[in-house]
Amino acid sequence: MIVRFFLWPLLMPQVLVWLGFSLLGFALLMVLKHGSEHMFEMALLFFLPMFYGLFGGLSLTGQQRLNDVARGVFVESGFGYTNVNPFQSAMAVKLALVFGALVLLLLSAPGEVWLLVLAGLLYPVLYLSVALEQSLSGGFRPELGWHIIRRLSFLYPLMALVLSGSAGLLAWVMLYDPQFLYLAGSAWLFLFAHPVCGLMLYSRRAALELNTVDSPEQRRASEAMQQAADVDSLLVELQRLCNSGGVHRAYVKLDIFLAGENYALDPQMHERLRIFHDSRLFLEHGVHYLQRLVERGDLRKAWTLLKDCVALEERFRPADPAILLELTKLAERPDALLVESLLGDFADAYPDSALIPEAMLRQARVQIELLGEGASGLRILDTINRQYPEFAAGEAFQRYRSRLRVKRDG
């Protein structure tokens, strides 16, 4: 695609336009150059429609390519390159007038550098008002010119260099040095400048509010719409399965769908299932979603998800007891009652877990330090001491009991 972009002026059918302009334009310029001086004005008047036809075809080809690229069509034309007949196009007349103004400026003030620089900065405004808005008078409206310059931002000087430079070079060669290779080369650069400028416009499509045919934003929107339709269809099928008692089958189908998207849709699906008629599917997804969040290291979001699920079903717990202990470390003071509740039935939720005494120790600390229930917390510590002597002999338990004694003695 990149190679095709750079070789575009040499591909069909635009190469025919380029060759026609180069060959016939060179022939006409030679006739004018070597003709008698007293016949120059008459010859120029006679050849003017021919020059218009040649340049009109060249400029229309470039302008259509600029529009294509600016709207996201990088390979195939969406505007019909066969329609480059300048005698049937008002656009060609406007483009020729803009270019003709540049030619007249070069004829009248070839040595005025400041005037040429000013023209080079203003030429893109005139050209783009014609190429994009199809309005020649719009280029003379300060508000439209400022709109184009402001929206292009830092790209405007580069746009001026490419667009004005290519057009100025072509005009200079035609006026002062009409050698065939120079004319053909400057015509190729003139054509190539248009897709380059189109690419700059495309990169600023949002600021310029361009109506694009294709863009990453449109593709993402299309994918999102298709994704939403797929989710809607899936939820209908899940509801049918749940209604027939197949909650497990419904979750398997849901998991296959999520796995196909690498579980990127977990957050959206969690919200959609929140209002699903069968809360069991919401909680089943919550268990696995919680596990995936922890595996990704997103513990803060996992803690929020845990609280969300517990709010719907107070018996909800992670599948892994270690996850519950890890997440309760993220709890803040307002969550003290919730943490105490989660740890209070830890042994019932995970009867075979080796983490029971650790959970009891944390529960005791919450009761003593956050809830002000010192007597209840001390009873839990005594229970740990009796039922789990090995854990009670450990450093964590002994250090905490020592802290309590120091506080009490103090």
CA–CA separation, 96 and 100 (whole Å): 6
CA–CA separation, 230 and 235 (whole Å): 9
Q: Which long-range contacts (CB under 8 A, 24 or more apart) does 243-251 make?
A: 247/278, 247/280, 247/281, 247/284, 250/278, 250/281, 251/281, 251/284, 251/285
pLDDT for the residue 33: 77
pLDDT for the residue 39: 56
Give the tokens for residue 126.
């005139």
pLDDT for the residue 41: 57
Question: 319 vs 75, which has greater pLDDT?
Answer: 319
Q: Which of 23-27, 38-42, 246-250 shows the lowest per-residue confidence on average (mean pLDDT)?
A: 38-42
Q: What are the tens digits of pLDDT across the range 204-216? A: 988 888 888 888 8
pLDDT for the residue 44: 62
pLDDT for the residue 294: 95
Of 312, 309, 347, 305, which is closest to residue 327 (Cα–Cα)?
Answer: 305
Give the tokens for residue 25.
């334009």
Task: List Cα–Cα distances, 211 to 68, 71, 73, 200, in angstroms.
Answer: 11, 7, 12, 15
pTM, two decimal places: 0.65
- The torsion angle over the Cα atoms of residues 57, 63, 68 and 70, rounded to 10 degrees, is 170
pLDDT for the residue 191: 92
pLDDT of 77 strictly over 60: no
pLDDT for the residue 5: 74
Task: Identify residue 304 by its one-letter amino acid code.
Answer: T
Q: What are the tens digits of pLDDT across the range 110-143? A: 667 777 787 778 888 888 888 877 766 655 667 7
CA–CA separation, 410 and 398 (whole Å): 18
Q: What is the DSSP string of 103-125?
A: HHHHHH-TT-HHHHHHHHHHHHH
Query: Residue range 89-98: average pLDDT?
Result: 84
Model confidence band, residue 79 (pLDDT cutoffs 50, 70, 90): very low
* Helix (H) / strand (E) containing 217: helix 216-243
Query: Residue range 232-260: average pLDDT?
Result: 92
Highest mean pLDDT among 6-10, 105-109, 138-142, 360-364: 360-364
Task: List Cα–Cα distances, 258 to 220, 271, 288, 289, in angstroms.
Answer: 18, 14, 11, 10
Of 199, 229, 151, which is closest to residue 221 (Cα–Cα)?
Answer: 229
Highest mean pLDDT among 84-88, 280-284, 372-376: 280-284
Model confidence band, residue 36 (pLDDT cutoffs 50, 70, 90): low
pLDDT for the residue 121: 82
Give 368's DSSP letter: I
pLDDT for the residue 408: 55
> Is the sign of the CA dihedral 265, 267, 268, 270 positive or negative?
positive
Question: 12 vs 112, which has greater pLDDT?
Answer: 12
Model confidence band, residue 316 (pLDDT cutoffs 50, 70, 90): very high
pLDDT of 72 strictly over 90: no
Q: Using a pLDDT cut of 70, give the percent of the chain over it.
A: 91
Q: Taking each helix axis from N to C terminus, what angle separates 299-312 and 321-328, rounded to the nearest 10 degrees?
A: 110
Average pLDDT score over the chain: 86
Give the tokens for residue 96.
């020729």
Cβ–Cβ contacts within 10 Å for residue 135, how many? 13
Give the tokens for residue 400.
């905490």
Query: Residue range 274-302: average pLDDT?
Result: 93
Give 35's DSSP letter: S
CA distance between the termini of the chain: 79
pLDDT of 409 strictly over 60: no
CA–CA separation, 193 and 124 (whole Å): 12
Query: Residue range 144-170: average pLDDT?
Result: 87
The residues near 92 (Cβ < 8 Å, ≥ 6 apart) are 52, 56, 57, 59, 60, 86
Q: Using a pLDDT cut of 90, give the percent of the chain over it.
A: 42
pLDDT for the residue 91: 84
pLDDT for the residue 410: 45
Q: Taking each helix axis from N to C terminus, what angle separates 90-108 and 155-176, rounded to the nearest 10 degrees?
A: 70
pLDDT for the residue 126: 84
